[in-house]
Amino acid sequence: MRALHVRRGRVLDPASNTDRELDVVLSEGRIVALGAGLAAPAGAEEIDARGMLVVPGLIDLHAHLREPGEEYKEDIASASASAAAGGFAAVCAMPNTTPVNDTRAVTELILERARAVAGVRVYPIGAITRGLEGQALSEMAELREAGCVAVSDDGKCVASAGLMRRALEYARTFGLPVIQHAEDPTLSLGGSMNESVSSTRAGLRGQPHEAESTIVARDIALVERTGARYHVAHVSTQASVWLVREAKRRGLPVTCEVTPHHLTLTDEACLGYDTLTKCNPPLREAADVEALREALADGTIDAVATDHAPHTPVEKDLEFDHAASGIVGFETALPLVLALVASSRLTLAQAIERLTAGPARVLGLPGGTLAAGAPADVTIVDLERAFTPRADTLRSKSKNSPFLGRAFCGRAMLTIVGGTIVFDGRAEPAA
Ligand code: DOR
Ligand code: ZN
């Protein structure tokens, strides 16, 4: 493998507090040197990064790759291409596939497919309960050994408090973080949007805020008892943010993530019955969006995670009530976060931290930094690049995004994984 010499970019590595023009040398899958005016190693490929931002490869804690079982929506190859085009060097794969990733065989299949694709890194997440049925715990030791980095029943909540207590105790013995999709089904009752003035106006059944926050409160009480590592997927409400902030203040091992769409849209987006705005948890109210933005800036929220959830028109071109929930996110995540920087809601360093070192820390993943010795995962970003996502240019097989046609400024130009270029957008026309 040729060494890479990334020259004269603005190197922004929040983990090492670096923000200045530097060269980065990558060799044998590692970052070997960082410095001004470094000599190129013999035979190295030179990448001119002048005028660009050089950051650690982005890490996504939450994605649905749909393989095995729903390859018509996405597969590991198309998901990898989409993630790489969005600047992600690593993605975590939620277990709600068919079959569910609740066994060694499924975990190994995912890892084998990811190896064959040789794109972004794929970290499987195993199920908490067998078949995501919320009844019996999965064999977590086996999942961990096969390569799962955490457990989650994402898409479904572990609704039983007693089962959640046992899941936390069990996962703790294997050092596996437990990721909760916080939604009390006896409160959400299949509501297809947020319960608010907007749901009344739309005439749609809503999910109240408390469907999320009561589970977060309950789980934090269980974390206090068990000491297990607990992570809240896609927090969407002000009350959840308050609960996590308070738990962190008390020193509990609690973390959380937010999606770009929950940081950007309110439930008023659902008033036109556009099923591309339907997601779970649902888009919330302006006060929630405001609280999420503040919590992302102050570090209460550790990471931005996409919840990349591909669906085709077969699942989306239906009445709002009947349409599937989910938004594809890999290719719009960085532009949406950069939009928050442009509107001064986040500093650039905070934005990059929540997409790199933040998520790496949450699950103890390698990468998330450009320090010498770290994996050679690097993303090169053009902050000035005009970018308008369109169905025909998205790499994902599925096009279910409410952000198609929106004009953004800034996108990933080059994604490098283990020293290999897996996405190169330099020759693409700006759009
Ligand atoms: O919007 C969502 N889509 N939320 C989930 O929790 C699951 C996901 C999916 O798998 O489609
Ligand atoms: Zn979820």
Residue 41 has pLDDT above 90, yes or no: no
Question: Is the pLDDT assigned to residue 190 strictly greater than 90?
Answer: no
Give residue 305's Cα distance to chain centre.
2
State the distance from the centre of ligand 1 to the C-alpha of 197, rounded, in angstroms.
24
Q: What is the pLDDT of residue 161?
A: 98
Residue 412's CB: how many other CB atoms inside 10 A? 27
Centre a 10 Å sphere on the Cβ of residue 237 and count the other Cβ atoms it contains. 25
Residue type, 70: E
What amino acid occupies position 304? Answer: V
Residue-wise pLDDT tens digits, 273-286: 999 999 999 999 99
Per-residue pLDDT of 312-367, as tens digits, reads 999 999 999 999 999 999 999 999 999 999 999 999 999 999 999 999 999 999 99
pLDDT at 40 over 90: no
Tell me the mean pLDDT in the region 237-251: 98
For residue 275, the CA-to-ligand 1 centroid distance in Å is 13
The proportion of the chain whose per-residue pLDDT surpasses 90, expressed as a percent, equals 97
Give CA separation, 221 vs 169, 217, 242, 254, 404, in Å: 13, 6, 14, 11, 41
pLDDT at 429 over 90: no
Strand partners, 6: 24, 47
156 CA → ligand 2 middle, Å = 7
Global pTM reads 0.98
Backbone angles phi, psi at 282, to 5 degrees: -75, 160
Q: What is the mean pLDDT of residues 90-115?
A: 98
Asked if the model's pLDDT at residue 113 lies above 90, the reply is yes
Whether 70 lines ligand 1, by a CB cut-off of 6 Å, is: no
The closest-lying atom of ligand 1 relative to the alpha carbon of residue 278 is 1
Taking a C-beta distance cutoff of 8 angstroms, is the pair 191, 207 a contact? yes
Distance (angstroms) between ligand 1 centre and the Cα of 350 equals 27
Nearest CA among 425, 426, 419, 424 for reference residue 118: 419
pLDDT: which is higher, 236 or 39:
236
pLDDT in tens, 141-167: 999 999 999 999 999 999 999 999 999
Select from 157, 325, 398, 400 the residue to mutate for testing ligand 1; criterion: most ligand atoms less than 8 Å from CB: 325
SS (HEC) of the chain: CCCEEEEEEEEEEHHHCEEEEEEEEEECCEEEEEECCCCCCCCCEEEECCCCEEEECEEEEEECCCCCCCCCCCCHHHHHHHHHHCCEEEEEECCCCCCCCCCHHHHHHHHHHHHHHCCCEEEECECCEHHHCCCCECCHHHHHHHCCCCEECCCCCCCCHHHHHHHHHHHHHCCCCEEECCCCHHHHCCCCEECCHHHHHHCCCEECCHHHHHHHHHHHHHHHHHCCCEEECCCCCHHHHHHHHHHHHCCCCEEEEECCCCCCCCHHHHHHCCHHHCCCCCCCCHHHHHHHHHHHHHCCCCEECCCECCCCHHHHCCCCCCCCCCECCCCCHHHHHHHHHHCCCCCHHHHHHCCCHHHHHHHCCCCCCCCCCCECCEEEEEEEEEECCCCCCCCCCCCCCCCCCCCEEEEEEEEEECCEEEEECCCCCCC
pLDDT for res 187: 98
CA distance linking residue 74 with residue 80, whole number of Å: 10
Percent of the chain with pLDDT over 70: 100
Angle between helices 238-249 and 286-298 (to 10 degrees): 30
What is the mean pLDDT of the segment spanning 393-403? 98
Q: Say yes or no: CB of residue 309 within 6 Å of ligand 1.
A: yes
Residue 1 has a pLDDT of 83
Report whether residue 326 contacts ligand 1, using a CB cutoff of 6 Å: yes
Amino acid in the structure at residue 289? V
Residue 268 has a pLDDT of 98
* Rounded Cα–Cα distance for residues 296 and 87 (Å): 20
Please state, in angstroms and rounded to a whole number, the distance separating the CA atoms of residues 61 and 306.
Answer: 8
Handedness of CA 409, 410, 413, 415 (dihedral sign): negative
Query: What is the rounded average pLDDT for all residues in the chain?
Result: 98
Cα-Cα-Cα-Cα torsion 104, 59, 337, 10, nearest 10 degrees, comes to: -170
Rounded mean pLDDT, 13-28: 98
Of 75, 307, 377, 382, the active-site residue reads: 307
pLDDT digits (tens, 9 = 90+) for 302-311: 999 999 999 9
CB-based contact 224:230 (threshold 8 Å): no
**pLDDT above 90 (res 430):** no
Q: How confident is the model at residue 191 (pLDDT cuts 50, 70, 90)?
A: very high
Task: Give phi and psi for 295, each to the nearest 5.
Answer: -70, -30
Q: At what angle do helices 76-85 and 104-117 cross, to 10 degrees?
A: 60
**pLDDT band for position 108 (cuts 50, 70, 90):** very high
| Nearest ligand 1 atom to alpha carbon 309 | 11
Average pLDDT (115-123) is 98
Is residue 367 left, alpha or beta, with left meaning phi > 0 and alpha meaning psi from -120 to 50? left
> Where do we find the tokens 């953004």?
408
Q: What span, in angstroms and rounded, lies between the C-alpha atoms of 302 and 146?
A: 27
| Known catalytic membership, residue 317 | no
Q: Which atom of ligand 1 is nearest to the CA of 310?
A: 11
Q: Among 158, 258, 280, 401, name the best residue to mutate to test ligand 1's pocket (greatest count of ligand atoms within 8 A of Cβ).
A: 280
- What is the atom index within ligand 1 of the atom nearest the CA of 324? 11
157 lines ligand 1 (CB under 6 A): no
